[in-house]
Structure 1
């Protein structure tokens, strides 16, 4: 917690940390309830947000809700979103800014059947790759892979969230998915797969926490407190994995089923290192953000250039 700047740590500061909203902060988790969000469930259940000095409510988007709509309308104060997604949104006029990078490693990967002859993205020439659609981190990762390897003859199929079905039937030769979700789920269901890094020095930044730019003056202390609560939850989860899964069971439907819990345990094990990284939880690397801005502009993902400092801040954590 050393680099989380001046966090509101005392419960007596709850009101001031929560800005002008007596109801506290709403954190938007941009997917249906899932074990990947375990630090937020643990922080709420164990009172770590409260200990850090902030009142937090969690809100799941579901599968169809646009990523930033609830943030821009004020229904949410913070949203869990990829750094690349924030940069894309900035180019489209959304005045949001990332204040913590939670996944220190980009979680999107190339997934192939275990017996596939594909050993590198370079082997995809003349083959097909499935993605959910032309949006979000799966799509950005695909574009980064194509750019890094200079691929010219790859068929890209939009298959929705049917990666396992499409890959197991042979509809596509490979899919783009999340290393801590899609790849783990396939293995848990008995379909042997391998993961392949999309590119060396991938110029993309994964999930983190973002808020509207005009909210920082009022809520910066509360944002620091949220991040402190998440860090306490990660410490707890690392020391108490079974108890963490017990907590997740209260939030994720179906977790009482032993098979579902077993699969969730694998996702938990794959996700914890993404949050922990090699140092400070939420650490920001402005050079990585600048590299991502250059890449996304160069290949035409951004409709207008977005400087790194417009999409992220080191005000909350360095």
Structure 2
């Protein structure tokens, strides 16, 4: 299984799979998507959209790059190195507080894909039991940090006083951190928890159930691109929506797993594990309320995310206009829910 630290992968010429899309033409628009880890499974709708030719249908030639965490994703967009990315909502709000014009355009992980996990035999049963202990994270400024801070503050815990974070990485380094007693808990994504269990570090989730409403990583672009080229944004959202819908149909499971293996062969070497991980990740992308279709962002949860960022010190004060941090315009248009 791949580790995201220091890893960068480029997926180019995706249509070489011989799927239904036509050959790339000279007038295709080249776009780059950055994701916070090398996992194809965590971004499955993008890789399905590549493999099924949905991007090509929109005239888009897509390159996917994996970098280290949501913070790096936002930096890449801010520097003009990519047009789209998949960070978490907490880092997006923090970035907007620093003047970065990032805008959430598609809610992919509609249910929280993070949880605080502890070793299976740990006496810890609730976040409050972690008083005086160290909570590990994969990155220093990724979405998992904001989520864990939210959970801990909800239990009356203050970072630096009642507990501390320690950046340990994911995969093997996280297993080693547990084995060396460097951490007592870990803020894990669905994929992280599955990898820990696969590598012999059995863990269980102690996150209170009410935090499931805090959606996780989704797709963003810049406000400038929305203003200057809304047609491009709509094309991108339509393709990832089609990839998302295709992957949720059980009849397409084998095709989806093939696309994911093409996107990251090493991740799918253990086919049974890859299939199990895909099912776990996929389940987190189905909205609790489907009234507004796939990709919709509940405004009330954005309000809660902002409150969390303020309480944790990532935002000094409320944003001047929180609604500028996200838009449902493109999602509602492509998923047929727009009035």
Give yes or no for TM over 0.5: yes
Aligned-pair distance for 1:283? 0.4
Aligned-pair distance for 1:224? 2.6
1:43 aligns with 2:49: yes
Q: Say if 1:27 and 1:56, in contact at 8 Å, map to a contact too.
A: no
Aligned-pair distance for 1:311? 1.0
Aligned-pair distance for 1:198? 5.4
Counterpart position of 1:5: none
Counterpart position of 2:60: 55
Counterpart position of 2:273: 263
Separation in structure 2 between the aligned mates of residue 115 and residue 298 of structure 1, nearest angstrom: 32
Counterpart position of 2:262: 250
1:317 aligns with 2:331: yes
Aligned-pair distance for 1:111? 0.9
| 1:157-195 residue CA offsets vs partner (Å, 9 max, x unmatched) | 3323322221234332211111x2110112222332111
Pair 1:138–1:224, CA change in 2 (3 A): same
Counterpart position of 1:26: 32
Separation in structure 2 between the aligned mates of residue 56 and residue 83 of structure 1, nearest angstrom: 26
Counterpart position of 1:298: 311
Structure showing greater relative contact order (alpha-carbon pairs closer than 8 Å, 6 or more residues apart)? 1
Pair 1:156–1:55, CA change in 2 (3 A): closer
Q: Say if 2:132 and 2:162, in contact at 8 Å, map to a contact too.
A: yes
Counterpart position of 1:282: 295
Q: Secondary structure at the match of 1:36?
A: coil
Separation in structure 2 between the aligned mates of residue 233 and residue 203 of structure 1, nearest angstrom: 23
| 1:57-107 residue CA offsets vs partner (Å, 9 max, x unmatched) | 132133388222332233311111111111111111211111121111121
Q: Say if 2:32 and 2:63, in contact at 8 Å, map to a contact too.
A: yes
Separation in structure 2 between the aligned mates of residue 313 and residue 237 of structure 1, nearest angstrom: 24
Unaligned stretches of 5+ in structure 2? 1-20, 333-339
Separation in structure 2 between the aligned mates of residue 35 and residue 130 of structure 1, nearest angstrom: 23
Please, which moves more after superposition, 144-153 or 102-111?
144-153
Using the size of structure 2 for normalisation, the TM-score is 0.78
